[in-house]
């Protein structure tokens, strides 16, 4: 009889696990599955399992291709199954191509004369998932805010980061969901970051993979009126609930789509962008809407120098700029007070009132 042995966390069983079990079982006559115990998971990965060990053991034992299930409790990282392996002395230890503990497992195989077998990646029967991605999907919110940026745009793109610079932005309502989206799309409001969050994905990594910045998913996840330090990853410098902006914000649809990746390499004045971010930051720290507006207007001048069309003057507005990278999408307006904002909204069908959003 050829005895096959596999090990893993198998925290949330999915189709990829079943395919791996079947392919491993096909290499012999008997398959032993070892999974890391709750204590091992906590000590090595600082997380708890999705179900108690005895429940997970029962689930695995119920699979037709599994002959034996053991719980790994050995303290060595990557070798929690070592005690069972030395006792059973299987003929084959099967691992995947992306195993992180290959050398340790090869040495363990030598001790009992077992074959170290790597299973090549085969076309999956299902769209590949992982236990961590399933957990993120379960934990994903049903609604999320979008965002407006005040100053410091592009300083969240790692290759454009400037020491001493900041990114100033704010999460906004109305909220969006997978079923309800009350805004134009491709509009410069961080919709891709919200979409990633609603689908249980890591929005920061998704945006960086596109070659753009991290500010959208960062503030959408954090919420509130935020100041971030410029750099390769989001570091929160200061946060306020945004109440100082209540009744003062609106966005104007410019009539054309916004495309950040298409404009990322355009020349622009990063020194003045840094200056705008410092002025806007001082406004946030001082809870001074006028100073925040000064930072917004300074950034808008950078946009105009970049070649964007001037935005229309709206009565009662103290500041304005294009959202995101500009060149279309929505433009942000800050008004002197709620009455001025509401008057402007009532006379302009393209102007949408928004409010700061902070999840306590």
CATH code, domain carrying 114: 3.40.50.620
Rounded CA gap, 117 and 267, in Å? Answer: 53
Confidence of residue 120 (pLDDT cuts 50, 70, 90): confident
Domain end (from 136, 161, 179): 136
Confidence of residue 331 (pLDDT cuts 50, 70, 90): very high
pLDDT tens digits, residue range 3-21?
999 999 998 888 889 999 9
Domain shared by 229 and 319, yes or no: yes
Three-class SS of residue 290?
helix
Domain shared by 71 and 175, yes or no: no
End-to-end alpha carbon distance in the chain: 60
Domain shared by 8 and 112, yes or no: yes
Residue predicted with more confidence, 127 or 114: 114
Report the length, in residues, of the chain: 360
Domain shared by 218 and 267, yes or no: yes
Determine the pLDDT at residue 129. Answer: 65
Query: What is the average per-residue pLDDT within 214-235?
Result: 95
Determine the pLDDT at residue 307. Answer: 93
Q: Among 281, 276, 273, 291, which residue's Cα sits nearest to residue 240?
A: 281
Number of domains, the chain: 2
Domain shared by 188 and 125, yes or no: no
Query: What is the average per-residue pLDDT within 32-50?
Result: 87
Residue 90 has pLDDT above 80, yes or no: yes
Domain shared by 26 and 148, yes or no: no
Residue 181 has pLDDT above 70, yes or no: yes
Domain shared by 212 and 252, yes or no: yes
Domain end (from 90, 108, 136): 136
Place of tokens 């404009």: 263
Q: Among 324, 338, 173, 174, which residue's Cα sits nearest to residue 262?
A: 324
Domain that holds residue 302: 141-356
Determine the pLDDT at residue 210. Answer: 64
Domain shared by 94 and 180, yes or no: no
Complete edge-to-edge strand list for the sheet that includes strand 30-36: 68-72, 30-36, 3-8, 92-96, 115-119
Domain shared by 97 and 198, yes or no: no
Domain shared by 67 and 149, yes or no: no
Rounded CA gap, 201 and 281, in Å? Answer: 29
pLDDT tens digits, residue range 135-168?
776 776 899 999 999 999 999 999 999 999 999 9
Residue 209 has pLDDT above 70, yes or no: no
Three-class SS of residue 101?
coil
Q: How far is CA 224 from CA 50, 88, 130, 292, 342, in A?
A: 31, 56, 31, 15, 22
Rounded CA gap, 250 and 248, in Å? Answer: 7
Domain shared by 181 and 315, yes or no: yes
Determine the pLDDT at residue 263. Answer: 84
CATH number of domain containing 180 = 3.30.230.120
Domain shared by 40 and 100, yes or no: yes
Q: At 273, which helix (H) or strand (E)?
A: helix 270-285
Domain end (from 101, 136, 171): 136
**Exposed e or buried b per residue across 274-313, where buried means at least 16 C-beta atoms within 10 angstroms of its C-beta:** bbbbbbbbbbbeeeebebbbbbbbbbbebbeebebeebee
């Amino acid at each position: 009889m050829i005895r096959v042995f596999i090990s893993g966390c198998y925290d949330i069983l999915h189709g990829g696990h079943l395919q791996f079990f079947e392919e491993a079982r096909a290499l012999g006559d008997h398959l032993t599955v070892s999974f890391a115990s709750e204590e091992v998971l906590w000590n090595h990965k600082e997380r708890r399992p999705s179900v108690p060990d005895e429940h997970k053991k029962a689930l695995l034992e119920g699979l037709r291709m599994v002959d034996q299930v053991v719980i790994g409790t050995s303290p060595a990282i990557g070798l929690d199954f070592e005690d069972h392996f030395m006792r059973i002395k299987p003929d084959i230890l099967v691992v995947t191509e992306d195993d992180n503990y290959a050398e340790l497992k090869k040495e363990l195989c030598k001790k009992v004369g077992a074959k170290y077998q790597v299973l090549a990646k085969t076309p999956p029967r299902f769209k590949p998932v992982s236990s961590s991605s399933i957990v993120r999907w379960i934990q994903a919110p049903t609604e999320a805010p979008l965002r407006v940026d005040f100053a410091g745009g592009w300083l969240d793109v790692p290759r454009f980061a400037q020491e001493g610079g900041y990114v100033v932005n704010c999460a906004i309502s109305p909220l969006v969901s997978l079923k309800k989206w009350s805004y134009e799309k491709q509009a410069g409001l961080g919709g891709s970051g919200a979409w990633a969050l609603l689908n249980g994905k890591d929005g920061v990594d998704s945006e960086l993979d596109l070659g753009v910045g991290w500010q959208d998913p960062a503030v959408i996840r954090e919420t509130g009126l935020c100041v971030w330090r410029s750099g390769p990853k989001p570091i929160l410098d200061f946060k306020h609930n945004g109440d100082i902006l209540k009744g003062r914000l609106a966005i104007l649809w410019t009539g054309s789509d916004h495309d950040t990746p298409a404009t990322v390499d355009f020349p622009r004045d990063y020194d003045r962008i840094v200056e705008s971010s410092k002025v806007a930051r001082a406004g946030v720290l001082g809870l001074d809407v006028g100073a925040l507006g000064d930072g917004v207007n300074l950034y808008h001048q950078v946009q105009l120098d970049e070649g964007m069309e001037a935005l229309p003057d709206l009565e009662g507005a103290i500041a304005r700029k294009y959202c995101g990278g500009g060149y279309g999408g929505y433009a942000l307006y800050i008004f002197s007070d709620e009455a001025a904002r509401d008057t402007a909204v009532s006379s302009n069908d393209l102007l949408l009132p928004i409010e700061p959003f902070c999840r306590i």
